[in-house]
């Protein structure tokens, strides 16, 4: 995880978008996914990481700047691998910058001081005052003019821990890979929605704690249990309460802790409260789970507080949830009461069905057939910018599970229009009954 911190208006979201948009050529067309994004998976020079603009994630956006920037710095220090501390060459060094710097000096993580809005050489000369912050690693950028971004990203990649890469999809593999024995299930959501209670209900007495080490970067509790014969590791973000820490009456939603948990899991339960339903922060986490092609189930808890009052409540709740997560129409929604133990079995069945889907393997022969039919039914449209060029797809096969990943061999990946990609995705969905999982589609020149 790479976190951008800094006081308001220094250009955090501009930098975020600069880094993001280099790769989002196709993905960004999904309605609603790029608006207000604060967290996203980015692949830069073949390295994948999660980029976070912490500026929008404070628990109290109306609060004092001093508290906001402190909270950003704390979030970044406990969760990110690299911290980009952004300042502004036009405004110069300000007291909030000093506050952040003071905080970050305690960090054991690499911090890069980024002086932004260095639009010309004159500003670079004027930016010398920032050396006074005592940060060893300083870099000048202009997010606005796209200057210095590539060099900055080179620095970032050097400071990221070595990736734990799975073997690349082998060119000739036709057989399904061996399924992982354990399902990793993360439970995330705001404070007080009932995560602990849900976890306790799930575990019952069958509880063997794997890594009860609090306060590490792995800021969640891993617990093994089994459900109907399926081995499951629960990644519980509620399990850890820091002792002695005054919460100042603010509902603390550890968004970044949730992000880490999602990243480590196959399937995420995003728990919400039936009396409040989803928040913008829930949407950020859901958006990331989508980005990273993780399995996701929206869990509406405390349903006991609702169901008897109004028979249309469930329908309204579904509509509201779908509205918040409108770019993910096929995400399952489960209604439960952790308190009364209702709906738990249904929730777990949904999870196991989703897991089965994520491990499903489509035979190459059938995929070739599907491709031929899809092309006959709906020829790839010509692309205006490339008038003499039409997309040709010669081959389709599945190259991975969890998430189900499909490789299209094409003449030129740039010719794949977003709507045509969605058409192909839907064909695969319908044919192989992928009802609830996000599929990953890759297009490579052949
Ligand atoms: P945030 O509040 O830190 O996320 O800052 P924004 O990304 O919203 O940017 C604040 C303002 O600074 C916007 O008006 C941007 O257009 C502007 N800005 C961002 N980067 C640059 C830059 O490199 N040069 C100049 N001149 N303006 C910039
Ligand atoms: P967490 O912060 O998300 O782990 O939430 P907790 O599990 O600590 O629950 C917060 C509060 O909500 C507690 O007072 C629980 O008793 C209550 N709660 C949890 N689940 C339910 C539920 O299904 N129905 C009702 N009515 N209350 C619940």
194 lines ligand 2 (CB under 6 A): yes
Q: 57-62: long-range contacts (C-beta < 8 A, 24 or more apart)?
A: 57/255, 57/256, 57/281, 57/284, 59/250, 59/251, 59/252, 59/253, 60/250
Last residue of a domain, one of 341, 358, 375: 358
Q: Is residue 153 part of a domain?
A: yes
Which atom of ligand 1 lies closest to the CA of 8? 2
Q: Cβ(401)–Cβ(361) under 8 Å?
A: yes
Task: State the average pLDDT over residues 158-185.
Answer: 71
- Reading the block at residue 82, the tokens are 């690299």
> Are residues 149 and 230 part of one domain?
no
CA distance 119 to 134: 23
> Are residues 205 and 149 part of one domain?
no
Last residue of a domain, one of 300, 328, 358: 358
Residue 277, pLDDT above cutoff 80:
no
> Are residues 133 and 43 part of one domain?
yes
> Are residues 368 and 341 part of one domain?
no
Confidence of residue 278 (pLDDT cuts 50, 70, 90): confident
Task: State the average pLDDT over residues 153-157.
Answer: 95
Q: Is residue 198 part of a domain?
A: yes
Which atom of ligand 2 lies closest to the CA of 305? 26
Q: Is residue 211 part of a domain?
A: yes
pLDDT value of position 388: 63
Beta strand segments in 181-285, E: 182-189, 208-209, 221-227, 230-236, 267-273
> Are residues 330 and 251 part of one domain?
yes
Task: State the average pLDDT over residues 238-266.
Answer: 64
> Are residues 335 and 203 part of one domain?
yes
Give the CATH number of the domain where residue 392 resides: 3.30.300.20
Q: Is residue 171 part of a domain?
A: no
Residue 386, pLDDT above cutoff 60:
no
Domain ranges, residue 427: 364-445
pLDDT value of position 446: 81
Residues near ligand 1 (Cβ within 6 A) = 6, 8-14, 55, 116-117, 119, 142-144
Last residue of a domain, one of 328, 358, 388: 358
Distance 207 CA to ligand 2 centre (A): 20
> Ligand 1: which of 3, 9, 14 to mutate, judged by most atoms within 8 Å of the beta carbon?
14
Distance 259 CA to ligand 1 centre (A): 26
Beta strand segments in 167-274, E: 182-189, 208-209, 221-227, 230-236, 267-273
pTM more than 0.85: no
Among 89-98, 129-138, 303-312, which range has the highest average pLDDT?
89-98
Q: Is residue 372 part of a domain?
A: yes
**Percent of the chain having pLDDT more than 70?**
84
Distances from the Cα of 178 to the Cα of 4, 175, 181, angstroms: 38, 9, 9
Among 35-39, 294-298, 375-379, which range has the highest average pLDDT?
294-298
> Are residues 96 and 126 part of one domain?
yes
Which atom of ligand 1 lies closest to the CA of 141? 23
Residue 353, pLDDT above cutoff 60:
yes
pLDDT in tens, 207-243: 544 444 443 334 467 888 889 889 999 998 764 444 4
Distance 416 CA to ligand 2 centre (A): 47
Q: Cβ(404)–Cβ(434) under 8 Å?
A: yes
> Are residues 334 and 197 part of one domain?
yes
- Reading the block at residue 375, the tokens are 């092309």
192 lines ligand 2 (CB under 6 A): yes
> Ligand 1: which of 5, 6, 11 to mutate, judged by most atoms within 8 Å of the beta carbon?
11
CA distance 343 to 333: 11
Give the CATH number of the domain where residue 205 resides: 3.40.50.300
> Are residues 207 and 243 part of one domain?
yes
Q: Is residue 168 part of a domain?
A: no
pLDDT value of position 84: 97
240 lines ligand 2 (CB under 6 A): no
Q: Is residue 138 part of a domain?
A: yes
Residue 171, pLDDT above cutoff 60:
no
For strands 221-227 and 230-236, give the pairing.
antiparallel
Confidence of residue 251 (pLDDT cuts 50, 70, 90): very low
- Average predicted confidence (pLDDT) for the chain: 83
Distance 274 CA to ligand 2 centre (A): 11
Confidence of residue 244 (pLDDT cuts 50, 70, 90): very low
Q: Is residue 66 part of a domain?
A: yes
Distance 214 CA to ligand 1 centre (A): 38
> Are residues 51 and 19 part of one domain?
yes
* Domain count for the chain: 3
CA distance 14 to 100: 20
Distance 4 CA to ligand 1 centre (A): 13
Q: 173-181: long-range contacts (C-beta < 8 A, 24 or more apart)?
A: 173/399, 174/364, 174/397, 176/361, 176/401, 177/400, 177/401, 179/359, 179/401, 180/266, 180/402, 181/231
> Are residues 368 and 333 part of one domain?
no
> Are residues 377 and 323 part of one domain?
no
């Amino acid at each position: 995880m790479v976190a951008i911190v800094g006081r308001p208006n220094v250009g955090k979201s501009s930098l975020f978008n600069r880094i993001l948009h280099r790769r989002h050529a196709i993905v960004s067309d999904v309605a609603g996914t790029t608006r207000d994004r604060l967290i996203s998976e980015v692949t830069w020079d073949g390295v994948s990481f999660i980029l976070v603009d912490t500026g929008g994630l404070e628990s109290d956006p109306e609060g004092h700047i001093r508290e906001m920037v402190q909270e950003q710095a704390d979030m970044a220090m406990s969760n990110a691998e690299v911290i980009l501390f952004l300042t502004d060459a036009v405004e110069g060094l300000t007291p909030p910058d000093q506050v952040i710097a003071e905080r970050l000096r305690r960090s054991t993580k690499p911090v890069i001081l980024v002086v932004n809005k260095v639009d010309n050489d004159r500003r670079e000369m004027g930016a010398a005052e920032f050396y006074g912050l005592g940060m060893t690693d300083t870099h000048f950028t202009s997010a606005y003019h796209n200057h210095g971004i590539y060099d900055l990203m080179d620095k970032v990649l050097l400071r990221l821990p070595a990736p734990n890469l799975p073997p690349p999809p082998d060119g000739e593999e036709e057989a399904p890979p061996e399924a992982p024995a354990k399902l990793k299930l993360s439970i995330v959501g705001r404070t007080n929605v009932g995560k602990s209670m849900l976890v306790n209900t799930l575990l019952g007495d069958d509880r063997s704690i794997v890594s009860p080490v609090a306060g590490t970067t792995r800021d969640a509790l891993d617990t093994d249990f089994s459900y109907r014969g399926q081995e499951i590791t629960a990644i519980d973000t509620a399990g850890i309460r820091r002792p002695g820490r005054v919460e100042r009456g603010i509902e603390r939603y550890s968004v970044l802790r949730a992000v880490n948990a999602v990243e480590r899991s196959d399937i995420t339960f995003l728990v919400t409260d039936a009396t409040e339903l989803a928040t913008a922060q829930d949407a950020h986490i859901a958006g990331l789970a989508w980005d990273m092609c993780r399995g996701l189930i929206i869990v509406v808890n405390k349903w006991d507080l609702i169901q008897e009052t109004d028979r249309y409540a469930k329908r309204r709740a579904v509509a509201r949830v779908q509205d918040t997560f409108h770019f993910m129409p096929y995400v399952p929604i489960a209604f439960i009461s952790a308190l009364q133990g209702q709906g738990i079995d249904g929730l777990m069945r949904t999870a196991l069905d989703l897991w089965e889907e994520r491990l499903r393997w489509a035979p190459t022969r059938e995929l070739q057939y599907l491709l031929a039919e899809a092309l006959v039914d709906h020829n790839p449209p010509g692309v205006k910018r490339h008038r003499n060029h039409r997309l040709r797809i010669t081959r389709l096969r599945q190259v991975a599970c969890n998430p189900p990943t499909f490789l299209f061999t094409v003449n030129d990946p740039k010719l794949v229009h977003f709507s045509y990609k969605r058409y192909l995705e839907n064909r695969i969905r319908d044919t192989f009954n992928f009802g609830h999982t996000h599929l990953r589609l890759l297009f490579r020149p052949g």
